Each structure stands twice: as structure tokens, then as C-alpha cells.
Chain A
């Protein structure tokens, strides 16, 4: 479509950068130019960092997180509570929860949500491994931190059903989900009806 301006190597770099989220062809061009201009300060260290990550990165066989060690640093961390697992759709959600730093728990990354229309079923996600972790007997609570979309909620329902099925084997795990309601620092007057109703329903003792 667009005529190439630079040599094939730089064009290739621009093409690859353009595949990154948030970067269009124009911003990829700008990024590539910055890299080329600041060869020593940016381009070389970036290339080395990429090589290094590429050699070491992998998916944690326990929780599905990405890290350079397996099991990942979160799964290895001895200070974390083994009895609580927070279930998230994607690594980005795990990072968001870790940023908040509200809980020293273990995680389980599903790698997506169930969607029959996209051909993604429970076997395409890390659901079996979650059930196996529950079966180990060390888990007391599973916190479902999935998105409030149809697919997210369907997945949450499914996992709840599977965990309830463990009760037949004498394994009792409490399943909870994140509260829906008033955001921190929010004002009631500005909330939509659905959120307000959910917040009232899920009220807590003061």
C-alpha cells in the first residue's frame, strides 16, 4: 500500500513495531526512527533485552502466568497464601491486581474466556489445571476476578459448577467473586442504576 522509504531492514522493523498494540503505521515509523537515531542508548539495549526475554520467557506450568522462571516468581513466593487462588482472564489482569497489591494470594490465568462462537471451550483454557489445583486439598477459596461480559460470566458459572462437583470427592472450596458497586471515591449521584442496584444488593456491615 505505502511506498517504502527506508531500506528493507528498517521497513521490516517498522512493520513489526506496527503490530504492537497501540501502535499504528504512523507511530511505528516514529518509534523506528527514534530507535535508529538513538542507536547506542536505545536500539542496542532493546535488542539485547528482546533477545534475553526471548531466550528465557515461558508460561508458568502451575498458574499460566508469563515469567522467565518456571514455576513463576509468584508461584515460588513463600510469603503468599497457598489457600487462596485468584482466577483472572489474562496476564494483564494479574498485573493489574498485583499493582493494587491488595492480596498476597496465588493466581490462576485462564488465558481467555469460553466463547462457543469463537470456538473456545473449557479445554482450550487453563480450567482443568485449576480444578487439579483445587483437588490438591490446600485451596480454601477461589476468587473469580473475570470481566462482567456474557462470556466472562458464563466462564465464571462454569468454573463454579466444576468446583462444586469436587464436593462429591470431599473437597470443599469456597467460590467468591469480586464485588460490583460503588467505586472508591465515587459519588452515588453519578452512578448508573445497574451499579447502584448491585451495590445495594451487595452491601456490607459497617
Chain B
């Protein structure tokens, strides 16, 4: 099931390149259809031959590549400019940044989390608070808001803008628009071609003790970073399943209809399970390989629980999982009707985490240990995304550093550097971040205003 990590890294980057190619081509087309086709295809040939050489060099040469990067180190993508309009408590904000880590210090309620929530909107979905669009708009702004960022990465500067623009639309009809370099995008997923954003907030503290749904969401976010199609599949599966539940509730008058829906569920569900199994295996492999690297955080052992996931993990002929799941669904109609919902499927899976050094289930570990375990998991995830996608994810750590002792904090800062990406950290006390020194830019946040803080100058 799992292929060597190196193969995966190549696959990831080449896929990335293909996606970049398409959006770029589209952009060119939109700007000017008149432009000679010859010119474009020439450019494309140049681009692809360069790309292949890079990949080959990274793999074969033990030294740094053509850009002076060490082999295997993902490219850095940093937010170098951020503008907010009517977002939460910010009426208007313009921040100029460099590519170093960003530290936001300030009192409770000053708007630190609001700021990194805005940054979290540079990924598809509802951001790190999973808030509605109405909640994100500043009170009195008529439901509209805008977040615009300038990214500096391997493609040079890229402008991403997102927000709600139509003030008249009814609350339910508002949708988040995404623009990349000024061109409107059909889907928020287009942002994944440029930047991956991961986060850890105090809201995740109860992840191990809380309901399985939370861990499943955590797991799917993990898969999504490796396989952008996962989100669409999960949404399609849930839609099909709700359809099945409705048919069952209405008395299953048409078995042919149920057959048809269950065939869809089986196809989507087996693909979801396979993607999860693969992602967990990758992450577990990476944790096992790097666990002495950051001893300050206990390593986690991961296990995926779920009927369909177990089938997907057992090696078998292609299509066997799909057929098996279809048979399970067909055989469980009466029982599911009594239960009022579908009882088998990837929507019931759970991610079990074990505290590695103590061999103890995470949910039974102490609060502090759970926090360290979770942080270690998120850091491993970030490393995996960097290796797979070829660009280091942006990491948002809300109120994380303050809860660590000095030794762990220093270890965290070192790990952040080794990940290769920009990291945004928040805390009430700027002094906590002093060990970062010139590696970070510090800002003081107070009542919707952000001012350069007392951190050391570059």
C-alpha cells in the first residue's frame, strides 16, 4: 500500500506542477486570447524541461540544488503582506511583513486570533474557528469582508484575495470568493496550488478525549493536505449517504434506487478509506523516522479504526473493498432503518492515538502530555505536507508556546525552523518568544491595531 516516501515526493511535486500549469494557462488565456499560441507553447516547453532538471537534481545530487537549497527541503512560502477590510474587529489593516516567523503579542481580546483566522482563510474551508461568513464580517459592515495577502514563494509573488463581496445577498446565499493575482477562481481549492495552511488552536485541546467526529475532521484535514480531491469526495459521499438515509426513512419502496445510491456510496467510500489509510501510514512512517529529531515532544503512534478502513488496509484486488462495502450496505437496510441512519461506512471511522514512549492511549495521558502529543502530531503533519507538496506549509500556532516549559519551547522554535515554512505564533507575553530572536518579527496587537513590537530588528 505505501510506496517509498521519495516516490511520493516526486509525485506530489509533479502533480503540483501540472496544476500550476493549468491555472497559469487559464490566466494567460483570459488576459489575451490574441497572444500567439506558439509563444505560449514555447514557454511551456522551457518550463517543463527546467522542472524536470530540478527534480532530477534534487534526487540524485547529495549537495544543495540549483537554488542553494539542501536536498529534500521544501520551498518556503511566506506571507509578506496582509490587508484586512471589515474582518472581525479590524475595520482596516495593512501589514507589511518579511519572510521570517510572525509573533503576535497582546492582551486577551485584542484580536490576535482574529488575525491568524484571517490568514487561515488562505486555505479552503471555514478557517480555524470554523465560523460562518457572517461571523467573520465586522459588525456593521453589512456582511462583507476582505482578506488580501501577498505570498512570496517559489513562483515569485502571488496575490490571493478572498472574502464576501455581495452586500445585498441574503445571508444564506453569500459565498466566499477567491481571486488569485486578480483572476476570479471557480473554487477555493485553487489556493492549494500556492499555499497550504495548517493550524493548532486551544480549541483542539480536547481532541483526544472529545467525540470521534472531531478526530475524523482532524484526520480528513490531514488527508486533504496530501490529496486535494479528498474534500470533494467526502462531501459527495455525505450527500449520497443523506440520500440513502432519506430513502430508508421513507420506507425503501424502490430497491433499485437504493442499489444505485449504494453503488455511489461504495465507490466514494472505498476511495475515502484508501486515502485515509495511505495518509495515516505516511504520517506514521514519518513520525517513526524522525522521532529522535525532536525529543521534546513525545511521538505518537497512530491507528485508524473503521470497518471500511480495515478492509482498505488489508491488501486485496482492486475493487474488492468497493464490492464488499456495497454488499454490507445492501445487507443492512432493515437495521439502518431501525437505527434511522447508516451505521457502516467511512463516516464512522476514528483516529486512535497512542502516547508512544508510555504506550498509553492519548486520552488517558495528562493534559500537558496531550498538548505536547498533539503539537508533535501537527508538526509531523507539517513536515509530511512539506515533503509531499514540495513547499512548506504555513503554520498557525494560537496560544501554543505559552503552555510549554522553557526546554520544550526552545525545541519547538528549532523544529519550526527545520520545517522550512513561515510560522505565526500568538501569545499574551512577547517575552515568551525571546529565544526566537531575529528569527521572528514581533507585533503588538491592541484593540484592532497592529504595531511593530519590541522584538529585535532584522
Contacts and interface: CB of A to CB of B under 8 A. Distances in A.
Contacts of B229: 192-194
Interface in A110-164: 114-117, 121-122, 149-150, 153-158, 161-162
A189 interface: yes
Contacts, number: 65
A206 interface: no
B239 A190 contact: no
A53 interface: no
Q: Give the bracket for the number of chain A residues in contact with chain B.
A: 20 to 34
A154 B240 contact: yes
B209 interface: no
A13 B171 CA distance: 28
Q: Which of A116, A156, A189, A190 has the most CB of B within 10 A?
A: A116
A116 B254 CA distance: 12
A190 B229 CA distance: 16
Given A116-B261, A154-B261, A161-B260, A189 B48 contact: yes
The CB with the most chain A CB atoms within 10 A, among B19, B21, B48, B263, is that of B263
Contacts of B242: 116-117
A158 B260 contact: yes
A190 B18 contact: yes
A158 B19 CA distance: 34
B260 A117 contact: no
B150 to A, nearest CB: 27
A122 B239 CA distance: 18
Contacts of A191: 18
Interface stretch (B125-133, B243-251, B410-418): B243-251
B15 A161 contact: no
B259 A157 contact: yes
A139 B170 CA distance: 49
Contacts of B268: 150
- Most chain A beta-carbon neighbours within 10 Å: one of B21, B22, B246, B256: B256
A190 B22 contact: yes
B114 interface: no
Contact of B260 (A114, A149, A165, A189): A114
A157 B21 contact: no
Name the prevailing secondary structure of the A interface residues. helix
A149 B239 CA distance: 11
A165 to B, nearest CB: 8
B19 A117 contact: no
Given A116-B246, A154-B243, A162-B256, A193 B15 contact: yes
Interface string B244-283: 1011001000101101110110001000000000000000
Given A114-B257, A150-B240, A158-B257, A192 B263 contact: no
Nearest to B227: A193
Residue from A114, A154, A158 whose CB has the most chain B CB atoms within 10 Å: A154
B236 interface: yes
Interface of A: 114-117, 121-122, 149-150, 153-158, 161-162, 165, 189-194
Interface of B: 15, 18-19, 21-22, 25, 48, 229, 236, 239-240, 242-244, 246-247, 250, 254, 256-257, 259-261, 263-264, 268
28 contacts: A115-B243, A116-B242, A116-B243, A116-B246, A116-B250, A117-B242, A121-B254, A122-B256, A122-B257, A150-B239, A150-B240, A150-B264, A153-B264, A154-B243, A154-B257, A154-B264, A157-B263, A157-B264, A158-B259, A158-B260, A161-B256, A161-B260, A165-B256, A190-B18, A190-B25, A192-B18, A192-B19, A192-B22
